[in-house]
Amino acid sequence: MDFVSKKVLLSGRVQGVGFRHFTRVTARELNVKGWVRNRRDGKVETVIQGDSKQVENMIERLKQGPAAARVDAVDIADTDINEAFSVFEVRR
């Protein structure tokens, strides 16, 4: 297993459309860990950890988002967070 940790920033119509809930449900389906939150600038930020293939699948699903969302841009970066997450949670 190739373990990776990615930070993903999504912009567009991504707040007020169930994006955090969609992200948490998808993460649990794909067995990845981390967190998701709304940012004050209108973007959604998430940190995803897990098997590289599952993280890649997760990012592909985030690019689509829930039905009411419109994802205009996706910024993906490796993250040096040293914390190993045990669950996927919605942060406020």
Q: Which of 13, 37, 38, 61 is catalytic?
A: 38
User: Is residue 20 flagged as an active site residue?
Assistant: yes
What's the angle, vertex CA 24, arms to CA 23 and CA 28, rounded to 5?
115
Q: Which of 20, 57, 61, 91 is catalytic?
A: 20
User: Is residue 31 flagged as an active site residue?
Assistant: no
Match 């949670």 to its residue by tokens.
Answer: 89
CA pair distance 5, 21, nearest whole angstrom:
20
- Residues with a catalytic annotation lie at 20, 38
